Amino acid sequence: MPHRPAPAYARTAALAAGSLVLVLAAGASPAAPAPAPPPTAGVRATAVAAAPGTGTVLASYAIRSTAEVSDTAAEVSSPGYPVTGWYPAGSRSTVLAALLAAGAYPDPFYSTQQKQIPAGDFTVPWWYRSDFTVADPGARTYLDFSGVISAADVYVNGRRVADAGTVTGAYTRHELDVTALVRAGTNTVAFRIRPNNPRKHLTMGWLDWLQPPPDENMGIVRDVTVRRGGPVALRDAHVVTSLALPSMATAELTVKARVRNDSAAAVTTTVSGTVGPASVSRSVTLAPHETRTVVFSPADHPGLRLASPRVWWPAAMGGQPLYSLDLTASVDGTASDTAHESFGIRDVRAPLNADGARQYVVNGRPLLIRGAGWSPDEFLRWDTRYTEDRLRYALDLGLNALRLEGHIEPDEFFDLADRYGILTLPGWECCDKWEGEVNGSEAGERWESADYPVAKASMAAEAARLRHHPSVASFLIGSDFAPDRTIEQGYLDALEAADWTAPVVPSASARSSPVTGRSGMKMTGPYDWVPPGYWYAKREGGATGFNSETSAGPDVPTLDTLRRMLSPAELESLWKDPSAAQYHRSPSSTFATLRLYDAALAGRYGAPTGLEDYVRKAQLAQYEAVRAQFEAYARNAKDASAPSTGVVYWMFNSGWTSLHWQLVDRYLDQGGAYFGAKKANEPLHIQYGYDNRAVSVVNSRAAAASGLTARVTLFDPDGTQRYDRTVTGLSVAGGGASSTALTLPASVPGLATTHLARLLLTDADGREISRNVYWLSSRADVLDYSGSTWYHTPTTAYADLKGLSSMPRSAVAATSATASDGQGVSTTTVTVRHTGKGSAPALLTDVHLLGAGGEPLLPVRWSDNQITLWPGESATLTAVYRTADLRGAAPALRISGWNTPTTTVPAG
């Protein structure tokens, strides 16, 4: 997350907000209450399973502002309390998410409608109330939960069981034994949720990602589970894996679990179960209320030493097999509690290389991290299918990692990442309370004594939750800054106690921590527009080392998405007024406008003539910018000096409808940024170097490639050929190696100032493996590195790409056929052909699949798109999507491009 010091007015406002909470808690009149809700519907008692070892998630809540509830906590939290007029909320819901679901406010993703939501509604606590039924009150009953933002007093059946001094922090986990309070029939749990302020609490904030939600995400955003058990509780069961390297011929598994006697009498329990193919068992005698850790190791259970283990790999490197741990604690032959966990066998390390950069190594094989920053929904609404769609997009783009700066997603996210083979880089967020006490002299939100145990407890809870996921490649205990010694040691102690085996990174920036040392990462930006050539210089944010967050900033979405998110007046301002503050860019004054971006767009391509022309030029600019970022880091990965080791595009997606920092937009539509990344990250790829005019082949496959042919042709915009060269017999090693095929001459007789370069890579049989088309200028972009700031490097002269506007119109025809697999997935195969006359190519031809009402059919995964065709050329593309998303309509194809008229035809 970009760092900037908090301005005085922001800090004053934060302090004022904190004071307001205290005043209201003392009984002063609150701000205007939320609109009167409709009668509560859909909030029913959750039937809790009776079997020992089961856990039942509270299905829903009734919520209401304490400003509107005059009854006592004992009354509110007692069974039978009337909740007519309360709002329904799901099992994971912020206050505002529930209000939006109930229709209390207009769609905050459109225009400036979020401004209509009064922040004063959320300056007082809110009640969350849920009923659950129990048939057998004799079994032990526990409330198990985390994800409370920011803190809560907790009540069960009229009795307070925990206060906000204990239940505080978004990531701390709590288990409350409520056996003595539970009765047969209906029971009630109620949370009095305190308001959130991410500058004052160890929770979650948004800084400059988006316009922050007026409720600051107060609520319960993870499951509250009612767990049942017998006299012995089985907790913290996990497997520590050790893979033999480099052979990977064997792996050793060590199983650990805590057994706790919750009864007043001594008891003997037998802990038994299976760990992958092995069985384990041991009996333990526990004194009253004693807790003991049970360990099963290969020394006493030889079956835990596996031969030929099934090893987990990132998606592009191998398979993603998982093993299971299943344990039962029994007393007198009766199950008292159970534990279940999946895990993977893999080895992840991240040493510093000779240049001090962090190099990730999986199962002994180094890899270039090609990542992007992940954002949850602005209102922290969890949707498994929507998340899975985005993860599939990440794989489609050739990404192998996602960074989660704060906003660490629920368990299902990491389950999906395990399944899809996507590495994750979770960590704490910057520029709020999490970085109030840092290893340096920077000002921040000072910590109080109560914050230290909350931070350590947060680390302990997340470590225990994430340690078994093979997709979790490290944990970043700092973001823009590294923690001071006290905080760092607390984190490290918690990680060690949790048997954490993945690397621990002190900071996402080039900050060192007192114990862990150097970060091996850099956070030099940029976060706003820079030209494609910027990425090739080994300085600032260029392709050297590990850049933890960086991009050329704005990513203007497609016209379809823009019309869904902006009003007509805002659409007009978007292309006409570069100095206008864009609400859908950022609350930060640094990123409020598109001034730098718009100046580059006009300077390089020519001033926009209308909204469609602005968006057309934006897609072209974003394609070349994103492609260059990933290509530069890929080309430099095996350099002998100062190689690149990782790049995290800032960001993969946005939590709302946005104009910046996104490879894919809120509605999962794909534009130039998306297809630029997809092109750059091809497994075997031909590319152009903006710095040295070299044409290189980059091979991210494991195996070497040989017998390749590279052909490079230069054209004027009208299609006149000015240069053509073919190189045969090329070979390139695997594992991210690159090989230079040829270097283009500094000048070519007769070549226009604005020109096109077509790069083709074919195999020994003449089959096309990679095609890449660049629009270039003999007049280079000129960067002023002396004027660099933390968010961009100024450009003092622009490349002249205005010649593209003179390209003749080109006709493109399409034929298609659609087939369904019978499992709910359809594939439309599209053949596009340049059918125009003359010699001009059809530049950046885009094919959109349309569904019901002529709207884009989303999500969709294209084999390729935004392609460039010369006269007579054709390309076959495939689009994969859910059949049900057609909603019974026949699909259609919309074809458009830089110099191609937009046409819509039925899809076969």
- Per the CB < 8 A criterion, the answer to whether 412 and 342 are in contact is no
* Cα separation values, 411 from 170, 223, 465, Å: 15, 10, 8
Residue 207 in tokens: 């800084």
Mean pLDDT of 737-741: 97
439 pLDDT tier (thresholds 50, 70, 90)? low
Say whether pLDDT at 38 is over 70: no
List the beta bridge partners of residue 774.
Answer: 757
Task: Identify the pLDDT of residue 441.
Answer: 65
- Per the CB < 8 A criterion, the answer to whether 542 and 552 are in contact is no
If 0-12 CB within 10 Å is exposed, 13-18 middle and 19+ buried, where does residue 234 land? buried
Task: Identify the pLDDT of residue 42.
Answer: 64
Helix (H, G, I), strand (E, B), or coil: what is residue 897?
coil
Mean pLDDT of 601-619: 97
- Per the CB < 8 A criterion, the answer to whether 880 and 826 are in contact is yes
Mean pLDDT of 736-754: 97
Cβ-Cβ contacts under 8 Å for 386 (sequence gap 6 or more): none
Say whether pLDDT at 32 is over 50: no
- In the sheet that 812-820 helps form, which strands lie side by side, from edge to edge? 812-820, 825-834, 874-882, 861-862
Among the listed residues 80, 71, 111, 149, the one whose alpha carbon sits nearest the alpha carbon of residue 458: 149
Task: Identify the pLDDT of residue 431.
Answer: 87
Residues 164-193 pLDDT 10s: 999 999 999 999 999 999 999 999 999 999
**How far is Cα of residue 14 from the mean position of the Cα atoms in its chain?**
27
Ramachandran bin of 386, using left for φ above 0, alpha for ψ from -120 to 50, beta for the remaining angles: alpha
* Cα separation values, 707 from 635, 728, 732, 771, Å: 20, 7, 9, 17
- Per the CB < 8 A criterion, the answer to whether 136 and 424 are in contact is no
Residues 333-378 pLDDT 10s: 999 999 999 999 999 999 999 999 999 999 999 999 999 999 999 9
72 pLDDT tier (thresholds 50, 70, 90)? very high
Question: What is the C-alpha R_g of the chain?
Answer: 29
Mean pLDDT of 416-445: 87
Q: Whole-angstrom Cα distance, residue 425 to residue 410?
A: 14
Q: Whole-angstrom Cα distance, residue 866 to residue 669?
A: 13
For 77-83, the CB contacts below 8 A with 24+ separation are 77/129, 77/155, 77/156, 77/157, 77/158, 77/159, 77/188, 77/189, 77/190, 78/157, 78/158, 78/188, 79/131, 79/157, 79/185, 79/186, 79/187, 79/188, 80/186, 81/129, 81/188, 83/40, 83/43, 83/129
Give percent of the chain above pLDDT 90.
92
Q: Whole-angstrom Cα distance, residue 862 to residue 859?
A: 10
Say whether pLDDT at 782 is over 70: yes
Site of tokens 């499992």: 823
Helix (H, G, I), strand (E, B), or coil: what is residue 366?
strand
- In whole numbers, what is the pLDDT of the chain averaged over residues? 93
Residue 652 in tokens: 């993969």
Task: Identify the pLDDT of residue 438.
Answer: 76
Q: Whole-angstrom Cα distance, residue 171 to residue 815?
A: 52
List the beta bridge partners of residue 401.
Answer: 371, 423
- Per the CB < 8 A criterion, the answer to whether 344 and 320 are in contact is yes
If 0-12 CB within 10 Å is exposed, 13-18 middle and 19+ buried, where does residue 430 land? buried
What is the amino acid identity at position 876? T
Mean pLDDT of 265-272: 97
- Please give the DSSP secondary-structure letter assigned to residue 509: S
Q: Whole-angstrom Cα distance, residue 280 to residue 300?
A: 9
Q: What SS3 string covers 399-444?
A: CCEEEEECCCCCHHHHHHHHHHCCEEEEECCCCCHHHCCECCCCCC
Site of tokens 């909320």: 89
Among the listed residues 901, 907, 847, the one whose alpha carbon sits nearest the alpha carbon of residue 874: 847
Residue 480 annotated in active site: yes
Among the listed residues 532, 530, 551, the one whose alpha carbon sits nearest the alpha carbon of residue 654: 551
Give percent of the chain above pLDDT 70.
95
Helix (H, G, I), strand (E, B), or coil: what is residue 704?
coil
| E strand intervals along 37-173 | 46-47, 55-57, 60-65, 87-90, 93-94, 126-134, 140-145, 148-149, 152-156, 159-162
| E strand intervals along 34-102 | 46-47, 55-57, 60-65, 87-90, 93-94
Say whether pLDDT at 645 is over 60: yes
Q: Whole-angstrom Cα distance, residue 204 to residue 22?
A: 21
Among the listed residues 45, 57, 50, 58, the one whose alpha carbon sits nearest the alpha carbon of residue 228: 50
Residue 540 annotated in active site: no
753 pLDDT tier (thresholds 50, 70, 90)? very high
Task: Identify the pLDDT of residue 10.
Answer: 29
Q: Whole-angstrom Cα distance, residue 436 to residue 184?
A: 47
Longest dimension (CA), the chain: 94
Cβ-Cβ contacts under 8 Å for 569 (sequence gap 6 or more): none
Q: Whole-angstrom Cα distance, residue 627 to residue 680?
A: 5
Residue 363 in tokens: 């199962």
- Per the CB < 8 A criterion, the answer to whether 468 and 341 are in contact is yes
Mean pLDDT of 57-71: 97
DSSP H/E element including 630? helix 611-635
DSSP H/E element including 491? helix 485-497
Cβ-based neighbour number of residue 136 at 10 Å: 12
Q: Give the active site residue among 418, 488, 540, 549.
A: 549
Mean pLDDT of 735-756: 97
Task: Identify the pLDDT of residue 880.
Answer: 97
Residues 456-474 pLDDT 10s: 999 999 999 999 999 999 9
Task: Identify the pLDDT of residue 486.
Answer: 94
Q: Give the active site residue among 223, 377, 451, 480.
A: 480
Residue 683 half-sphere exposure toward CB, CA atoms < 13 A: 12
Q: What SS3 string covers 449-484?
A: CCHHHHHHHHHHHHHHHHCCCCCECCEECCCCCCEC
Say whether pLDDT at 122 is over 90: yes
Q: Whole-angstrom Cα distance, residue 595 to residue 614?
A: 14
DSSP H/E element including 846? strand 842-850
Residues 655-691 pLDDT 10s: 999 999 999 999 999 999 999 999 999 999 999 999 9
1 pLDDT tier (thresholds 50, 70, 90)? low
43 pLDDT tier (thresholds 50, 70, 90)? confident
Task: Identify the pLDDT of residue 37.
Answer: 53
31 pLDDT tier (thresholds 50, 70, 90)? very low
Mean pLDDT of 722-728: 98
φ, ψ of residue 145 to 5 degrees: the values are -160, 160
Q: Whole-angstrom Cα distance, residue 882 to residue 823?
A: 9
Say whether pLDDT at 13 is over 50: no
User: How many distinct helices (H) and strands (E) make up the chain?
Assistant: 12, 49
- Per the CB < 8 A criterion, the answer to whether 346 and 311 are in contact is yes
The terminus-to-terminus CA distance of the chain in angstroms comes to 45
Task: Identify the pLDDT of residue 16.
Answer: 28
Cβ-Cβ contacts under 8 Å for 7 (sequence gap 6 or more): none
Cβ-based neighbour number of residue 446 at 10 Å: 9
